[in-house]
Amino acid sequence: MHRLCLILFGPPGSGKGTQAKLLRQSLGIAHISTGDMLRARVAAGDALGMEAARVMQTGGLVPDAVVNRMVEDRIEEPDCEKGFILDGFPRTVSQARLLSDVLAAKGISPLVVHLKVDYNVIIARLSGRRQCPTCGALYSVTSNAPTVSEVCDYDGSKMVVRDDDRPEVVGERLRAYERQTAPVLDFLKGAGYAFFEVEGADASPQAIARRIEELIQGVRS
């Protein structure tokens, strides 16, 4: 059986990261988050991280050349042998073209899931998100608040609002998505890949993950 490449597609705040973590556990494959990789480089403070930080803090998209290099190297690591989930990639048509070429060379035909969420829901969701600066745990002030307000349950650190979750930045991120990322849908549909749209806010994350698992089973059976 060919390696599974699941592309989770959708605007910022659509739940791609949450779904990727759930599906990684149930499917036993790697979860590749370009956002997490970029944030790790930012935390490391190297030249690439500093370049990425300047772009991310204003809600822009990191240049394709940077992201492409990381992703192509990442899918060759041992934990991707059985398959992998791409979370947050591709974000532009040029990234999608590169990915298509890379996967074709490896004999991999991806399965694409587009998570659909109303933008008003996304703005409320991201504006209410908090993160622990120490361990990276994510919370929501409405649905997953820490036991003590604004304090991490795991290590007692004071919660912070990520720069890219501030309301003014969320708005710019959504505008950037419309300009640069939404056209990727047309490319992926036109490439002949298995393509599905799933409502990303009408059920629990676990129920949505089960829907995606059923779609995967249907395609691979």
**Sign of the Cα pseudo-torsion (216, 12, 22, 205, in order):** negative
User: Quick check: helix, strand or coil at residue 3?
Assistant: coil
Q: What angle do CA 183, 60, 66 make, to 5 degrees?
A: 85
pLDDT along the chain (221 residues), means of 10: 85 87 94 82 81 80 78 87 90 89 90 91 87 91 88 95 85 85 89 93 92 92 72
Q: Is 173 annotated in the active site?
A: yes
Q: Which of 3, 116, 162, 210 is flagged as catalytic?
A: 162
d(CA 50, CA 71): 19
DSSP, res 75? T
Q: Is 175 annotated in the active site?
A: no
d(CA 6, CA 84): 6
- pLDDT given at position 152: 95
User: How is the chain split into domains, by residue range?
Assistant: 4-118+181-220
Q: Does domain 4-118+181-220 match CATH 3.40.50.1780? A: no
By the 10 Å C-beta count (0-12 exposed, 13-18 middle, 19+ buried), 205 is classed as middle
